[in-house]
Chain A
Amino acid sequence: MAVNQSHTLPESLRESARLVEKTREERLARLLRGETFPLLSLSDRRAWLEEYHPDYQLEGRRTLGVGPSKGMETPVELADLLEAWPRANVLSLYEDSDKRLAQEPDHVTDVLIIGGGGAGMAAAITAAEAGAKVTIATKLRPGDSNTIMAEGGIQAADQECDSPVQHFLDVLGGGHFTNDPDMVEALVTDGPETLRWLEELGLLFDKYATGRMKTRHGGGTSRKRLHSCGDVTGLEIMRVLQDRAEYLGVETIQFHPAVELLTDENGRAVGVVLERIPQGETLVVRAKAVILATGGFGRLHFRDFPTSNHYGATADGLAIAYRAGLPLRDIQSCQYHPTGVAYPEQKLGLLLTEKFRGLGAQILNRHGDEFVHNLEPRDVTTATIIRECSEYDNGVETPGGVNGVWLDIPLIELLHGRGTIEREFPGRFKEFIGKGFDIRKWPVLAYPTLHYQNGGVVTGTDAATDMPGLFAAGEVTGGVHGKNRLMGNALLEILVFGRRAGEGAARFAAEFGAGGKPGLSHLDAFLEELTVAKIDRQRTAPRLLPVYGKVRPV
């Protein structure tokens, strides 16, 4: 690989980086004595969050005036998507629905899964193993998702000092006791067997020679419960799931995002309308059960925050579910990952996994001083970083004019020995060293980045939504994490609820068959509301892909 010198630290940043170097020995000595920066009390957590976390600010928010969650506040970028007209091709189907939809569908299957990420793929495997014919329709390629970008790990209570009950308590506290306890209970009790399932699929966990899993802390955990595959945990999970799904004969329709659900006269989901991109023509798919696994909203860039998310994370599923009458919860709640890359700018917003902090890397201000315990829940850490940079003016300014704080990665090797960084973070290490930047020697500048949609479509523990025949799993859903997710619970969630959705959908398909005539009557009430609210007809959803530079929308 060519070494590109432009990615090493410029002189203006080196000065502060040297201060980090200077304080490192003393910080190390404190750590070795077992002294850590104090954890905040619950009341301090609340105070920092209310004052500095973007979720708690009124700016950039709007109250929904249309649809099943009317009165709920959401970021304006999302409100524009929820209070929007269907795309032109769907509207023409709607106006002409008897003719086109009465014809033979373009494709027929038992279980149709919208989205080819981790939740969708886990659902596909489970449904196929239950004997259903399974089709995945995906906007980009199968596997293209936030799942593959998950670096740090997956939580599950498997250690001697741990139990699903202890995990339950951590999840609730991390979510500030706003989670749906039924969903949390399902998540934590399925945890250990999910690890075993992955092991049997050939997943390469980080293990000791005996086969014992290596575990570590994540923000907000009371036990070391985080299992990883280097720093490409999500990628490894995705590769393994995808291989299994292919083996089981799951078929995929790629570059075909869903743009609308199809329902019968009883209000049951019986299929979807897909759009072939970029050409724009529609494809009508009939299915006995549908699973929504479309992921989250990071690429909506609320308040211009950079994002760690995949290109396709544009909340398509939320828009589709919302106008089908499904209520959303906690949708105003975004997770800003505390350590997105702030420099170099080409990597702005991309992730520096929490595993770095799990192994001891500290967050420092421009003087090289600690200002937060390195394993607070994510939203709390994010709020304190924003405070440190805005209120106290202790951030480091990059040449591009963005603020950052240091993530002192080199500290890891002083704690755990030489070679740890290369071994534990093979992905990030190779990526940075390829650009001439050695993360074993230099700290990296970080700033919070839009990372995860905490809320979403409401489901039961069986992943069923309020609409018969429609299931949902993964980031598109809400309730498990309440208002804040802990690290490692997203990968667990997509597998636990993906599998439950696959099982439920296969059972539903076998029990209830094809259903009635496919139509779009579920849109009647919503379109009426849009008209009354005088929503501009130019405003349509889903958007499918974000728009950058001078690129025109799809």
Chain B
Amino acid sequence: MDRADHVSILYDGEKHEVPSGRTILSALEEIGIGFVRGVGCRGGVCGACTVLYRISDETEFHAALMCQEPVQAEMEILPLPYFPQKKVRHSLDLPEGETPHYRVVNYYPEINRCIMCGECSRLCPVGIDVMGYVGMIKRGELREAAWESFTCVQCQACALRCPGQIPQPNAALTARLFHGRHQVPQAEHLTRALEKNRKEDIHAVIGRLRRMKPVEIQALYQRREIEPQNAPPGTWLPEDRTLIMMG
């Protein structure tokens, strides 16, 4: 290595000297390697810039998001912009007599092939216990699986290395959807709000505001009563209830 503030890496089979202290993405851009595919949000949530890397002379290799991972000396990097993972097109309907758990396992029977090697959890660049949620789905703990997989960025690293060829991220998506649709109770206060909105003429009340002079509506705005931070849900009501259509 020639320059102290640079490190040597191997990206997609080519050797490069890149500035240190940067993410892999910005270090590569700095020396002129541009991206069309394989880069997305640049904020660590879209999973487009997944790479596998290994430090020369080490055995273990890792998965990372290029927009998040600092560049290190002697990284050998394989970009992984796409992985052909199984995805089932399905509705959220639940036929009579079936459980959400049954539906999910039916769409993704591969989850029964988990041999608990733990490679998926080890690789996950956003720290999800992938093997953990696969087990949860298997056991019918859809709620637990939904929240364990909640921050998944669909980078596909887990699926790539799975010896059971389980499409974990897509199975987790289906688990979350069935859990959300069928196991989480609907919000009753929302149902009541929808009913109230159907009964009341909201447009007439808004129309009254719209006909106000600027000074009047500004005064109304400044007089707004602010719901206290610590008010328990659904308990507090303002003194003036005309705008919420309660008399």
Interface residues of A (CB under 8 A from B): 1-2, 4, 6, 34, 41-42, 140-141, 143-144, 148-149, 157-166, 168-170, 172-173, 177, 181, 185, 188-189, 192-193, 195-196, 199-205, 207-208, 210-215, 217, 222-224, 229-230, 232, 235-236, 239-240, 243, 246-247, 255, 277-278, 308, 310-311, 346, 350-351, 360, 426-427, 430-431, 433-434, 545, 547-552, 554
Complex: chain A residue closest to B146, CB-CB: A204
In angstroms, Cα B231 to Cα A165, docked, is: 21
Residue B167 lies at the interface, judged by CB distance under 8 Å to chain A: no
Give the distance in Å from the alpha carbon of A308 to the alpha carbon of B42 in the complex: 9
Residue of B nearest to A6 (CB): B70
Q: Is B32 engaged at the interface, CB distance under 8 Å to the other chain?
A: yes
User: In the complex, are the beta carbons of B227 and A143 less than 8 A apart?
Assistant: no
Q: Are B202 and A163 in contact (CB under 8 A)?
A: yes
Distance (whole angstroms) from the CB of B50 to the closest CB of chain A: 12
Between A and B, 14 residue pairs with Cβ closer than 8 Å are A160-B237, A165-B243, A173-B218, A192-B193, A193-B194, A196-B191, A204-B179, A215-B233, A224-B227, A239-B154, A310-B42, A431-B126, A433-B127, A549-B26
Residue B3, interface by CB 8 Å: no
**Do the beta carbons of A164 and B185 come within 8 Å of each other?**
no
Chain A nearest CB from B130 CB (Å) reads 13
Q: Select one of B40, B146, B173, B185 contacting A311, CB under 8 A.
A: B40
Contact present for A161 and B197 (CB under 8 Å)? no
| Contact (A211, B32) CB under 8 Å given A232-B150, A350-B43 | no
Q: How far is the CB of B175 from chain A (nearest CB, A)?
A: 10
Within 225-242 of B, Cβ neighbours of A (below 8 Å) are at 225-229, 231, 233-234, 236-238
- Within the assembled complex, what's the spacing in Å between the Cα atoms of A375 and B30? 38
CB distance from B186 to the nearest CB of A (A): 6
When distances are taken between beta carbons in the complex, the residues of chain A under 8 Å from B199 are none
Stretch in B7-15, B89-97, B111-119, B158-166 touching the partner: B89-97
Smallest Cβ-Cβ distance to B82: which chain A residue: A141
Q: How far is the CB of B146 from chain A (nearest CB, A)?
A: 6
Establish whether residues A163 and B46, one from each chain, have CB atoms under 8 Å apart when the complex forms. no
Question: Cβ of B187 < 8 Å from any Cβ of A?
Answer: yes
A42 to B191, alpha carbons, bound, how many Å? 36
Name which residue of chain B comes closest to A199, CB basis: B186
Which of the listed residues B40, B43, B205, B245 has the most CB atoms from chain A within 10 Å of its own CB?
B43
Sorted nearest first, the 10 A-B pairs with minimum C-beta distance are A211-B185, A551-B34, A550-B32, A202-B180, A549-B30, A202-B177, A202-B181, A173-B221, A549-B29, A222-B224
CB <8 Å contact, A189 and B179: no
Question: Chain B: residues with CB nearer than 8 A to chain A?
Answer: 21-23, 26, 29-34, 36-37, 39-46, 48, 62, 68, 70, 87, 89-92, 124-127, 146-147, 150-151, 153-154, 173, 176-181, 184-194, 196-197, 202-203, 205-206, 209-210, 214, 217-218, 220-222, 224-229, 231, 233-234, 236-238, 243-245
Q: Of A173, A185, A214, which one neighbours B206 at CB under 8 angstroms?
A: A185
Asked if A144 and B210 make an inter-chain contact with CB atoms under 8 angstroms apart, the answer reads no
Given A165-B202, A224-B227: A278 and B36 interface contact (C-beta under 8 Å): yes
Chain A, Cβ-Cβ closest to B177:
A202
CA distance A144 to B244 in the complex (A): 38
Partner of B176, one of A41, A204, A217: A204
What distance in Å separates the Cβ of B239 from its nearest Cβ neighbour in chain A? Answer: 11
Cβ B127 vs Cβ A1 within 8 A: yes
Given contacts A199-B190, A247-B91, contact A140 B40 (CB under 8 A): yes
Q: CB-CB < 8 A to B173: which residues of A?
A: 239, 243
Q: Contact: B150 with A202, CB < 8 Å?
A: no
Q: Is the CB of A169 within 8 A of B41?
A: no
Question: Given known contacts A157-B193, A551-B29, what 8 new A-B pairs fall within 8 Å (CB)?
Answer: A42-B222, A161-B237, A173-B218, A185-B210, A202-B179, A204-B176, A427-B151, A548-B29
Residues of B within 8 Å of A350, CB to CB, are 43-44
Q: Which residues of A contact B42 (CB under 8 A)?
A: 310-311
- B192: chain A residues within 8 A (beta carbon): 160
How far is the CB of A189 from the nearest CB of chain B, in Å? 6
Q: Closest residue to B220 on the A side, CB-wise?
A: A169
Task: Please state if B188 and A211 are interface contacts (CB–CB under 8 Å).
Answer: yes
Taking CB atoms, residues of chain A closer than 8 Å to B91 are: 247
Say how far A534's CB is from chain B's closest CB, in angstroms. Answer: 31
**Residue contact B227 to A161, C-beta cutoff 8 Å:** yes
Residue of A nearest to B219 (CB): A42
Which one of B146, B193, B220, B229 lies within 8 Å of A158 (CB-CB)? B193
Q: Which of B44, B214, B238 has the most CB of A within 10 A?
A: B44
Q: Which residues of B contact A158 (CB under 8 A)?
A: 187, 189-190, 193
Question: How many Å from the CB of B79 to the closest CB on chain A?
Answer: 14
Report the Cα distance A350→B41, complex, angstroms: 10
CB within 8 Å for A217 and B29 given contacts A192-B193, A346-B23: no
Name A550's closest neighbour in chain B (CB-CB).
B32
- The residue in chain A whose Cβ has the minimal distance to the Cβ of B237 is A161
Q: Is the CB of A217 within 8 A of B229?
A: yes
Q: Whole-angstrom distance between the alpha carbons of A99 and B126 in the complex?
A: 52
A402 to B117, CA, bound (A): 45
Residues of A within 8 A of B70 (CB): 4, 6, 346
Task: Judge whether B89 and A247 touch: CB under 8 Å.
Answer: yes
